[in-house]
Amino acid sequence: MNDVSEFWAAALRRVWGLDARLSRLDGEYDLNFLVQATNGQDYVLKVMRAGCDSQLVDLQIKALEHIAAEAPGLPFPKVIPGLDGGLLLQIDDDAGRPRLAWLLERLPGRCYAKTVPKSEDLILKLGRVLGATDRALERFSHPGLERPEFKWDLTQAGWIADKLDAVADPDRAALLREICAQFDAVADMLAELPRQAIHNDVNDYNILVEGELSERRQVSGLIDLGDMCAAPRVCELAIAGAYVVLDYPRPERALAALVRGYHAANRLRPQEVDLLWPLLRMRLAVSVVNSTLMATENPDDPYVTISQAPAWRFLEDGSVNGELMSARLRAVCGLPVTDGAERIHAYLAEHRGQFAQLLGQDLSDVPMGSLSVENSTWPQNPFHMPLDEAARVGAEFGDGLWLGYYNEPRLIYAEPAFRKGPWKASDRRTVHLAVDVFAPAGTPLLAPLSGRVEAVENRANHLDYGGVVILHHETPEGDAFYTLYGHLDPEVCDRLKPGDPVAQGAAFARLGDAGQNGGWAPHVHFQLALTTDGMQADWPGVADPDELDLWHAVCPNPAALLNLPDEKVFYRPTDKAEILNKRRAHFGGNLSLTYDDPVMLVRGWKHHLFDEWGRPYLDAYNNVPHVGHAHPRIQAVAADQLKRMNSNTRYLHPAQVEFADKLLSKLPEHLQVCFFVNSGTEANELALRLARAHSGAKGMVTPDHGYHGNTNAAVAISAYKFNKPGGVGQADWVELVEVADDYRGRFKRDDPDRAQKYADLVDDAIAALQRKGHGVAGFIAETFPSVGGQIIPPKGYLPAVYEKIRAAGGVCIADEVQTGLGRLGEYYFGFEHQGASPDIVVLGKPIGNGHPLGVLVTTRDIADSFDNGIEFFSTFGGSTLSCRIGKEVLDIVDDEGLQENARVMGARLMDGLRAIEAEFACVGDVRGMGLFLGVELINPDGSEGTEICRYVKNRMRDHRILIGSEGPKDNILKIRPPLTIEAEDVDMILWALRSVLAEVGDYAPAPVCDHSHHHDGCGCC
């Protein structure tokens, strides 16, 4: 402690009776100290500048007392009385000047500014705290609240208008003038609102947030009431909003979350909500003008300009649709989206059945045709729909009339224009906001009700509306609403012009042909909107599934205008929560689900998957769809074979030998005999039987943490399962050896002899089996241990092990389920990397690309040893269908160059991961080959970063990337995508991983007490 701190520590002892260590905190004019008292509590001591107005401090103290009494649950600090009971004390400083001093409880948490990520959930909670605070302050009064000429009182913000000359950049000055004009336009409305005490400075340094990594973050403090004043409560919300939006990737979503939270705690009126956007921008304008003026006074202080940057970035970024903001914010509050919205809904409901029929005929019995993600396979490739495919959309619904759903998520909107970010897996607009009426081209359209033409255009761009008309209508009370008719014959542009009246029932347009419909069958896209603010004539026909509260409110279900019940045309995707509940009811608890918030996946294409709302995910985890999800050649082969017949290996079929021929062509010559089964597990079970039959022995050697399947014997050789708490334990005939992990194991990468040293560990295992009388039937290992943590054993390890095993009479089994078939890029099988020559190779997962298929390949000698006269038969193993699919997978890997793709993309990923490793301390190791990669996450002390890994995996899912985790302590990210992955997907993985790892920061898990070294705060003893 320095002299000043010593001085105030002594004062603290004298006045508050506390012994403490003091350290200085930031403070422009006042002295602020962090107080760490010997009683174990932390406080903040505030020593106000000499001559400070005591009323302003009294205001803060009284406000805190008021809040504590009204709403004790709110996260505000308590004021600690001195020994004499006083809260605000006058103490002479070291220069003998009287200073006002007060002591506050120190609240936990870090400031919001330094919290990453700032989730919408956290912002919503902030909104709630803010709303509850303003409710608590409603009845608080104090003379200090009236602050004339206070530059931070938003109602007085007009002062900046006279200072705009200080802003040199003419574009910026013009922007500020526009913001001031918008502020002036709402000034009267603002002046009419009731005023109350508000905090008035909920900036990101005055908000404290608690919660580490995966814990849900909470607002643990609102501090610094020094700017309190009386103002309308929307000013509070606008000020907090002005900070929450800065540098937020989707600022409108952040603001919506804040307002939703506030409204939940403190109901806003629609007119207040409408003020938020102009007030928020005005607050930022005040900030930049204020700091520009300060910069003029302190030209050498670079901080002043730096601190303006985020505000300018926000104000100058045109990507937020400000005109749509009122609707957005009203919608998230559940308030009517326009002042007339409720009357319009009532009018439409009342007149349902009385509107003119759009096609001149009753649509009640016209069938619905679903094009939803779940029901439709249009388009096959959700990233591109060729015109010939578009022409067949809905062909299954026939040539007659049919209707397309409102609220239906569709993958048809395949082109990048519907994406909201740079990646294929970025958010995209999928949910249809209109009803489609499919009818022959040329069918006349009759106006459901009278109106006038608002817009008439020919939007000729591919996938746009073609001929489009928007009509303006009014209810008898004068509330305006609008209807849009898309995909019309563009001749309408010659006949109508804006302003023209259209009578109810008048034929005002005709359906266009496929050319007006992005190539699909002729139909009219019929959409209703309660406002055109922020859209004008450019209405989105489909919406982001995560913004439906806004779009349902702006563009409600138009069923009433078609004289149809709402339910008929309203699409409801399968309810994920219901499926989850039923799954819990119908299945065992150890059928585990990935992610804290599980995903439901209903469609796939290559290395992307889609949920029931059409949200895309990049699949960086699943190795089963080896050649990609929904591969057209696999579909075709399966359908073709199922059309013919599907039988078993008791009958001859060329497919059996064709598959075997192809597979054997990829393997060393000594492997000559195939057994077709249904799974990797079954193949490993069989491998054990073969090894025992051939060796006449029982014992098996296998590396620790391995996995070979889920049946009794497969579990017995899978330490990953039998050694888990609650596992069946190690069988007497199994001996484990340490995994050849040269990152974490006992022999590290700097040891040139590590391969041999790891192999030598097998000697003891062999000896133990022989001692126990089991002998050595064989050795089984995942060639590159996968569940053990994506480990690449040092070259030469397996041949050295095999030599020892063979010398002991055992058979060497390579489980290539994870590593085989080209995934490694440079090698078709993992054992090739090792220079090893296995006696049995086991294949599974990828070889069926999702169809259940496993294969065991072995030598003629071993097959003969097994052939003891008892039939080997696996009913479905080697079925005609399986053989054709298996062969097709192998052919596709060759035809599409997927092994080479694995090599090139794997190298790209590895380069990026290495750069990330160098950047982030929590990345301990990156390793792998081709598209079999692992990223080992560690704590600051080098121990396994299990919690970090869980966090990263879940956050990658938030970024729409599916990734796995493995390893004995589940701290290794497993990247193992289908082999079709492309460069832009690799770049997305690297981008997302980098941003998620930045959120981890210096996280360290709380130490766990092992009872031998107790530590501070360990509650265990």
Ligand X SMILES: Cc1ncc(COP(=O)(O)O)c(C=O)c1O
Q: Among residues 221, 251, 486, 680, which is the contact residue for ligand X, using CB under 6 A?
A: 680
Q: How far is the CB of 715 from ligand X (least distance, A)?
A: 11
The closest residue (CB) to ligand X is 680
| Residue 626 binds ligand X (CB under 6 A) | no
CA distance 86 to 69: 18
Give whichever of 531 and 684 is closer to ligand X, judged by the CB atom: 684
Q: Does 844 bind ligand X (CB under 6 A)?
A: yes
| Residue 326 or 818 having the CB closest to ligand X | 818
CB of 426 to ligand X, least distance (A): 31
- Work out the angle at residue 458's Cα, subtended by the Cα atoms of residues 452 and 464, and round it to the nearest 5 degrees: 110
| Complex with ligand X: residue 556 or 964, whichever CB lies closer | 964
- Asked whether position 818 contacts ligand X by CB under 6 A, the answer is yes
Choices 68-76, 175-183, 242-250, 815-823 (CB under 6 A): range interacting with ligand X: 815-823
* Tokens linked to 59: 């205001």
Nearest CB to ligand X, comparing residues 374 and 782:
782
* CB 718 to ligand X: min, Å: 8
What is the nearest approach in angstroms of ligand X to the Cβ of residue 624? Answer: 9
Per CB under 6 A, does 739 bind ligand X?
no
| Cβ proximity to ligand X, 825 vs 844, nearer residue | 844
Tokens representing 410 are 């569709």
CB of 818 to ligand X, least distance (A): 5
Helix (H, G, I), strand (E, B) or coil at 548: helix
Look-up: residue for tokens 């400000």? 322
- Which residues make beta-bridge pairs with 89? 101
Q: Is 851 in the site for ligand X (CB under 6 A)?
A: no
Q: What is the DSSP string of 112-167?
A: GGG-SS--HHHHHHHHHHHHHHHHHHTT---GGG--TT-TT-GGGGGGGGGGGGG-
Residue 786 makes contact with ligand X by CB under 6 A: yes
Which of 115, 292, 679, 954 is close enough to bind ligand X by CB under 6 A? 679
The residue (of 430 and 623) whose beta carbon lies closer to ligand X is: 623
Nearest-angstrom CA–CA distance, 728 and 735: 15
Which one of the spans 63-71, 412-420, 431-439, 702-710 is the region binding ligand X (CB under 6 A)? 702-710
Classify 976 as helix, strand or coil: coil
Assess 482 for contact with ligand X (CB under 6 A): no
Binding span for ligand X by CB under 6 A among 95-103, 395-403, 694-702, 705-713: 705-713
What is the distance between the alpha carbons of residues 404 and 522, in angstroms, rounded to a whole number?
12
* DSSP bridge pairs for 34: 23, 44
Residue placing its CB nearer to ligand X in the complex, 106 or 708: 708
Supply the minimum distance, in Å, between the C-beta of residue 929 and ligand X. 16
CB of 423 to ligand X, least distance (A): 29
Q: Which two tokens stand for residue 224?
A: 């610094």
Give yes or no for residue 966 binding ligand X (CB under 6 A): no
In angstroms, what is the minimal distance from the CB of 848 to ligand X? 9
* Nearest approach, Cβ of residue 1009 and ligand X (Å): 35
Which residue from 236, 815, 839, 925 is in contact with ligand X, where contact means CB under 6 A?
815
Strands (E), 156-271: 196-198, 207-210, 218-222, 229-231
In whole angstroms, how close is the CB of 709 to ligand X at the nearest point? 4
Angle, vertex CA 557, rays to CA 554 and CA 558, nearest 5: 105
Contact status: 557 vs ligand X (CB under 6 A) = no
Smallest CA-to-CA distance from 546 within 213, 257, 216 is with 257
For ligand X, the closer CB: 261 or 850: 850
CB nearer to ligand X: pick between 340 and 706? 706
CA nearest neighbour of 856 among 619, 977, 684: 684
Is residue 817 part of the contact set for ligand X (CB under 6 A)?
A: yes
Q: What angle do CA 79, 82, 83 make, to 5 degrees?
A: 145
Helix or strand run (H / E) with residue 90: strand 89-92
How does DSSP classify residue 511? B
Task: Tell me how long the chain is.
Answer: 1021
Tell me the residue type at 125.
K
Residue 685 makes contact with ligand X by CB under 6 A: no
Number of residues that bind ligand X (CB under 6 A): 14
Q: Which of 473, 470, 469, 468 is nearest to 449 (CA)?
A: 473
Q: How far is the CB of 736 from ligand X (least distance, A)?
A: 16
Q: Which is nearer to ligand X, 131 or 822 (CB)?
A: 822
Give least dist CB 714 to ligand X, A. Answer: 7
Stretch of 452-460, 611-619, 678-686, 898-906 lying at the interface with ligand X (CB under 6 A): 678-686
The answer to whether 397 contacts ligand X (rule: CB under 6 A) is no
Contact 304, 290 (CB under 8 A): no
What secondary structure letter does DSSP report for 687?
A: H
* Closer residue to ligand X, CB minimum distance, 518 or 877: 877
Stretch of 222-230, 401-409, 436-444, 701-709 contacting ligand X, by CB under 6 A: 701-709
**Distances from the Cα of 514 to the Cα of 263, 485, 824, angstroms:** 47, 15, 46
CA dihedral 935, 937, 942, 946 (to 10 degrees): -140
Q: CB under 6 A: which stretch of 772-780, 812-820, 930-938, 947-955 binds ligand X?
A: 812-820
Based on CB atoms, which residue is closest to ligand X, 552 or 708? 708
Decide: is 707 part of the binding site for ligand X (CB under 6 A).
yes
Please name the residue ranges forming H helices in 391-538. Answer: 492-495
Instruction: Give all strands of the β-sheet with 854-858 in edge-to-edge order.
Output: 673-677, 854-858, 840-843, 811-815, 776-782, 699-703, 734-737
How far is residue 181's CA from residue 939's CA, in Å, rounded to a whole number? 53
Binding segment for ligand X (CB under 6 A), chosen from 89-97, 208-216, 707-715, 875-883, is 707-715
Contact 955, 581 (CB under 8 A): no
Helix-strand-coil percent breakdown of the chain, rounded to 5?
Answer: 40, 20, 45
* C-beta of residue 333 within 8 angstroms of C-beta of residue 268: yes
Q: How far is the CB of 778 from ligand X (least distance, A)?
A: 15
Among 721, 845, 887, 959, binds ligand X (CB under 6 A): 845
Give me the residues paired with residue 929 across strands.
932
Which residues between 763 and 782 bind ligand X (CB under 6 A)? Answer: 782
In whole angstroms, how close is the CB of 853 to ligand X at the nearest point? 9
SS3 560: helix
**Cα separation of 730 and 712, whole Å?**
12
Q: Between residue 40 and residue 59, which ones bind ligand X under the rule CB under 6 A? A: none
Cβ nearer to ligand X, comparing 708 with 903: 708
Nearest C-alpha neighbor of 893 from the set 536, 631, 533, 589 = 631
Asked if 717 and 684 count as a contact pair (C-beta separation under 8 A), the reply is yes
- Whole-number Å distance between alpha carbons of 839 and 837: 7
Applying CB under 6 A, which of residues 409, 709, 820, 906 lies at the interface with ligand X? 709
Please state, as a whole number, how many other Cβ atoms lie within 10 Å of the Cβ of residue 835: 11
788 touches ligand X by CB under 6 A: no
Q: Is 708 in the site for ligand X (CB under 6 A)?
A: yes
Of 221-229, 421-429, 706-714, 735-743, which segment contacts ligand X by CB under 6 A?
Answer: 706-714
Binding mask 635-674 for ligand X (x = CB under 6 A): ----------------------------------------
Q: Does 967 bind ligand X (CB under 6 A)?
A: no
Q: Cβ 789 to ligand X, closest distance in Å?
A: 13
Rg (CA), the chain: 35
Q: How far is the CB of 621 from ligand X (least distance, A)?
A: 12
Contact residues for ligand X, defined by CB under 6 A? 679-681, 684, 707-709, 782, 786, 815, 817-818, 844-845
